[in-house]
Amino acid sequence: MEYKTILFEKTDGVGVVTINRPEVLNALNDLVFAELADVFAAMERDRGIHCVVVTGKGRAFIAGADVGAEINKTVREEHEFLRAGHELFNRIEAFRVPVIAAVNGWALGGGLELAMACDLRIAADTAKMGVPEINLASIPALGGTHRLPMLVGLARAKEMMLTGRHVRAEEACAYGLVQQVVPAADLMPTVMELAKGIARRAPLTVEYGKIAVTAGYWSDPKTAAEVEMGLRCQLQDTWDRKEAYTAFLEKRDCAPFCGC
């Protein structure tokens, strides 16, 4: 399918989604949400995709929502826009395989909120992040008031939201907002090496591992333990697990995984 606001390619089991509106710093609007929803739905059906990378074209990851499109929206239209964004970001967060945000530049407002919905975030050393909605007499409303405190702590999240200041990549890494900072020229090679490494792992194990960690984070210990044990037992009779154990015992390389 041809998209107007995003680019998509698939390589070595990795789906790469690029927001492609560099003339407005990849600002989010209704069409971007719709096309992202479509490409993630397509990747959900494609069992040949084992990891996803999201990035931006040009000098920004996503510099927030499209203010020009936002200013004249009615309350109802704004609610529909935010609802679509929440549904999309929740889908990304719960996606069956890991999603990595390659933060190549400005990640502000909704852009940072999208990045926070991803499993991992790697940033270029030139990237800047923030939730500057207060400067527009607004607040984060695409999951930022929920996900940001979880990642950086309550007080720091409040400070970022109430001042609207931009956080440099190294500071964001110290906060726990991103996992790694690399030179801008090395960003995509670093992210793709990580993504392809994940894609080479046993597919069902990666999916179940993501489910188990998420359940463990959100659930009480008893429920988390039941989910963990249940998923582990479902892997017990798979060819992938048997091959991995046999290769370990025989001290040989493991055959390629098949996801069964």
pLDDT at residue 61 greater than cutoff 90: yes
In the predicted structure, residue 60 carries a pLDDT above the cut 80 = yes
Is position 255 within any domain? no
pLDDT at 260 over 80: no
Q: Which residues of 69-90 are buried (b: 16+ CB within 10 A; e: fewer)?
A: bbeeeeeeeeeebbebbbebbe
Q: Which residues does 213 contact at the CB level (< 8 Å), separation at least 6?
A: none
Instruction: Output the six-digit token pair for 26.
Output: 């990849």
Is 171 a domain residue?
Answer: yes
Parallel, antiparallel or unpaired: strands 106-108 and 120-124: unpaired
CATH of the domain at 242: 1.10.12
- Using the predicted structure, report yes or no on whether residue 256 has a pLDDT greater than 90: no
- Indicate whether 227 and 145 sit together in one domain: no
Residue 210: the pLDDT is: 95
pLDDT at position 72 is: 86
Among residues 35, 70, 80, 113, which one is catalytic?
A: 113
| Residue 159 known to be catalytic | no
**Domain count across the chain:** 2
Estimate the crossing angle of helix 144-152 against helix 154-163, to 10 degrees: 130
Given strand 167-168, what is the order of strands in its sheet? Answer: 60-62, 106-108, 128-130, 167-168
Q: Which of 77, 133, 159, 170 is catalytic?
A: 133
Active site residue 80: no
Query: What 8-state DSSP symbol labels residue 65?
Result: B
pLDDT at residue number 243: 86
* Residue 238 structural domain: 203-250
Do 97 and 195 reside in the same domain of the chain?
yes
Instruction: Mark whether 51 and 114 lie in a shared domain.
Output: yes
Mean pLDDT of 47-51: 96
How far is the C-alpha of 116 from the C-alpha of 110, rounded, in Å?
Answer: 10
Percent of the chain with pLDDT strictly greater than 90 = 88
pLDDT digits (tens, 9 = 90+) for 68-111: 888 889 999 999 999 999 999 999 999 999 999 999 999 999 99
Q: Which helix (H) or strand (E) holds 108?
A: strand 106-108
Q: Distance of alpha carbon 11 from its chain centroid, rounded? A: 18
Do 128 and 239 lie in a common domain?
no
User: Which of 42, 18, 165 has its CA nearest to residue 102?
Assistant: 18
